[in-house]
Amino acid sequence: MARLDQVITNIVDIFLEYADDEGKKTQLNKDELKKVLEQEIQSPELKSKINADDIEQAMEMLDKNHDGEVNFREFCRCVSDLAKCYYQKKTGKGGKRHKGKEPEGGQED
């Protein structure tokens, strides 16, 4: 299997494996999310971005629809954010500089 194929199937498989522990089978509750973060993220750089020790903060950050659980879309957003953090660390690029701001020397209407 190609590397990207493997990454995509792993993301889906990990979500489904942990979401199936208890509660709704298509969402991660707080305990399931904590297990995912503890067991599936080992890199110190990534652990510093989202921490199983502060599960309340992690839930608040991920649970965008405020239903008390993390659905697959919210989980994918988390994985994407972690990938962006890793990319920024590896390349030194991709920060949010100037996002939503007029560039230096730009003209206002």
| 43-101: pLDDT as tens digits | 888 888 877 778 888 888 889 988 999 999 999 998 998 898 889 888 988 665 544 44
50 within 8 A of 74, measured Cβ to Cβ: no
CA-nearest of 35, 6, 11, 5 to 22 is 35
Higher pLDDT, 50 or 33: 33
Phi and psi at residue 46, to the nearest 5°: -75, -35
Q: For residue 109, what pLDDT band results from cuts at 50, 70 and 90?
A: very low
Specify the pTM.
0.75
- Whole-angstrom Cα distance, residue 13 to residue 94? 29
43 within 8 A of 89, measured Cβ to Cβ: no
- Whole-angstrom Cα distance, residue 26 to residue 36? 14
